[in-house]
Chain A
Amino acid sequence: MKKNIVKALIGVVVSLFIVAGFGAPAQAAYRSMGCDVGINGQLYWCPTSQFHSGGGMNIQPVSVNTCAGSLYIGMRDVNSGYQMTNSAVWHSLPHSVRTLSNPASGSTRLPAGSYAMNARINGACGQATTTHLIASFGYNL
């Protein structure tokens, strides 16, 4: 009887430990970022940025009119102007999640920095230079 109570207590403590997330790897976090995207092949440098403390990052466009063209998004370091990731490309719907990688090494581990979107579509939308884009990011992956 006493042993059963002890076992039950241990079970409760272990469950609480797991629920609280102790011992588990850091969880991915998510945020969305809105910006413009260049039309007709022009690359738009967005001033809106996000701080990234390092590690993997993925991206999914959630709202954009591609004007029937392909959509290209890369991440730029705002302090140096360097493009820090390969461009993710979507040729058609659905706009699925893409993991970003370093253009030199191919690694998906990105260094700490302040990242902004470089975005373009190769479709034409009348006389407009840009159209609006909202993308969702997963990070600390």
Chain B
Amino acid sequence: MRVPRLFSYAIVFLLLLSACGTTSTNAGEAPAEEFIEVDKFDDAVMQASVNFPEPLPAGIDWPTNGIDFEDPQVNPGQQKIVIGEGYQDVYISGYWLCAWMDVYLEAMKTGDSAGQQEGVDNISKYTSLPSQQEHLQNPEEFDSQLVTPAALGDPTVLKSYYGSSCGNYVENNPESP
């Protein structure tokens, strides 16, 4: 009877050992992210625009000017850049968002309430986009601090966001506000 008891102790010990080993390995390591080289980014953006699930406003096209990685505002230290896989989808979602913000702000300027509603209806879809579901950490704050006030007629945060964040969209659409 002594041998089976020792045997069972040994099994329990080995199981505990393997569990400890698994835990320490997983805690110290994160899965390696894939990345895109800068010279492949424009192609990745074009592919992301082809697969994008929502339409742009009438008369607006996907960007022809991508990111200039030698622009000092983009790369102040002129470092070699590697881009995390998925950023192309985030970037194209941002362009789409800026286009609908433009529609909203333009409609607000001219008193076009239907256009304003169309703008905010589309802006409210932003946090449901697959790229944002995957990569935006605080969608509830975007909705509560930008979308909801805009829907209620207060565009303060939306205007600030558009002014600081939509330069690439404006460059591609110079007639926008």
Task: Show the binding face of A for B, using Cβ within 8 Å.
Answer: 31, 33-36, 38, 41-51, 53-54, 74, 77-84, 87, 103, 111-114, 116, 120, 128-130, 132
Contact = CB atoms under 8 A, between A and B. Distances in A.
A42 B80 contact: yes
A87 B77 contact: yes
A114 B136 contact: yes
Nearest to B38: A45
Given A48-B137, A53-B146, A42 B82 contact: yes
Interface string B113-148: 000000000000000000000011111011001100
Given A49-B90, A50-B136, A130-B32, A83 B161 contact: no
A80 B85 contact: no
Contacts of A44: 35, 81-84
A26 to B, nearest CB: 11
20 contacts: A35-B84, A36-B32, A38-B79, A42-B80, A42-B82, A43-B77, A43-B80, A44-B83, A46-B84, A47-B90, A50-B137, A53-B146, A78-B87, A78-B94, A111-B160, A111-B161, A112-B146, A112-B157, A130-B35, A132-B30
A42 B166 CA distance: 26
Contact of B81 (A35, A43, A47, A80): A43
A49 B141 contact: no
B137 A79 contact: no
Given A43-B82, A130-B35, A34 B30 contact: yes
Chain A interface, >50% SS class = strand
A43 B79 contact: yes
Contacts of B81: 42-45
Interface in B142-177: 142, 145-146, 157, 160-161, 163-169
B167 A47 contact: no
Contacts of B94: 78-79, 114
Contacts of A74: 76
Contacts of A35: 84
Contacts of B29: 132
B169 to A, nearest CB: 7
A95 B67 CA distance: 32
Contacts of A120: 79
A51 B169 CA distance: 18
